[in-house]
Chains A and B, each alone.
Chain A
Amino acid sequence: MNYAIEPRPAGTQSQGVEPGYAHTANRWPSQPLARRPHTASELSGPGGLARRLAPVRGDLAGYGKQRAIGQLILVRARVVDEDGTPVPGALVEAWHCNAAGKYIHPNDSNDAPADPNFYGAARVVAGDSGLVELRTIKPGAYPVPDSGGWWRPPHIHFSVWGRVWLSRLVTQMFFQDEPLNEHDAILNAIREPEARSRCIARLAPTAKGPFDALVYEYQLVVRGRKAAPGMP
Chain B
Amino acid sequence: MTLGPFFPREFAQGANDLTALDGKPAKGEAIEISGRVTQLDGAALDNVVLEIWQAGADGRYDNPDFFGWGRAATGADGVFSFKTIKPGAFEGRAAHVNFLVLYSGLMRQLQTVMFFEETDDPVLSSIGKNKRHLLVAKKSGPRSYRFDIRLRGEGETPFFGD
| A170-B3 contact, Cβ under 8 Å, with A44-B61, A107-B47 | yes
Q: Which of chain A's residues 83-105 have a Cβ closer than 8 Å to chain B?
A: 93, 95, 97, 103-105
Mostly helix, strand, loop or mixed at chain A's interface?
loop
Cβ contacts under 8 Å, A40 to chain B: 61, 90-91, 93
Q: Once the chains bind, are A165 and B53 in contact (CB under 8 Å)? A: yes
Q: Once the chains bind, are A157 and B4 in contact (CB under 8 Å)? A: yes
Q: Once the chains bind, are B156 and A29 in contact (CB under 8 Å)? A: yes
Q: Does A108 contact B (CB under 8 A)?
A: yes
Mostly helix, strand, loop or mixed at chain B's interface?
loop
Q: Does B39 contact A (CB under 8 A)?
A: yes
A-to-B contact residues, CB < 8 Å: 5, 7, 13-16, 18, 21, 23-42, 44-46, 48-49, 51-53, 56, 93, 95, 97, 103-108, 120-121, 123, 157, 159, 165-166, 168, 170-172, 186, 189, 199
Q: Once the chains bind, are B9 and A105 in contact (CB under 8 Å)? A: yes
Cβ contacts under 8 Å, B9 to chain A: 105-106
Q: Once the chains bind, are A166 and B162 in contact (CB under 8 Å)? A: yes
| A16-B159 contact, Cβ under 8 Å, with A48-B67, A157-B3, A165-B98 | no
Cβ contacts under 8 Å, A121 to chain B: 8, 10-11
Q: Complex Cα distance A51/B61, Å? A: 15
Q: Which of chain B's residues 126-158 have a Cβ closer than 8 Å to chain A?
A: 126-127, 151-153, 156-158
A152 CB, min distance to chain B CBs, angstroms: 9
A155 CB, min distance to chain B CBs, angstroms: 9
| A27-B103 contact, Cβ under 8 Å, with A39-B93, A49-B69 | yes
B-to-A contact residues, CB < 8 Å: 1-11, 15, 21-22, 39-41, 45-47, 51, 53, 55, 61-62, 67-71, 90-93, 96, 98, 100, 102-111, 122-123, 126-127, 151-153, 156-162
Cβ contacts under 8 Å, A166 to chain B: 111, 162
Chain A residue nearest to B91 in the complex (CB)? A40
Cβ contacts under 8 Å, A31 to chain B: 156, 158-159
Residue pairs across A and B with Cβ atoms less than 8 A apart, 7 shown, are: A7-B162, A21-B107, A33-B110, A44-B61, A107-B5, A107-B47, A170-B109
7 nearest A-B pairs in the assembled complex, by CB-CB distance: A23-B105, A33-B161, A14-B107, A46-B69, A121-B8, A44-B61, A103-B6
Chain A CB within 10 A, most for which of B21, B47, B61, B62: B61
Q: Once the chains bind, are A46 and B152 in contact (CB under 8 Å)? A: no
Q: Once the chains bind, are B108 and A16 in contact (CB under 8 Å)? A: yes
Cβ contacts under 8 Å, B100 to chain A: 165, 168
Cβ contacts under 8 Å, B61 to chain A: 40-41, 44
Q: Once the chains bind, are A26 and B1 in contact (CB under 8 Å)? A: no
Select which of A28, A32, A35 is within 8 A of B106 by beta carbon: A28
B76 CB, min distance to chain A CBs, angstroms: 10
A183 CB, min distance to chain B CBs, angstroms: 16
Cβ contacts under 8 Å, A171 to chain B: 1
Select which of B21, B69, B98, B106 is within 8 A of A42 by beta carbon: B98
Q: Complex Cα distance A40/B6, Å? A: 33
Known: A36-B123, A51-B21. 18 other contacts (CB 8 A): A14-B1, A18-B107, A23-B104, A27-B40, A30-B156, A34-B127, A34-B159, A36-B162, A37-B126, A41-B93, A41-B96, A41-B123, A44-B53, A51-B22, A103-B6, A157-B7, A165-B100, A170-B2
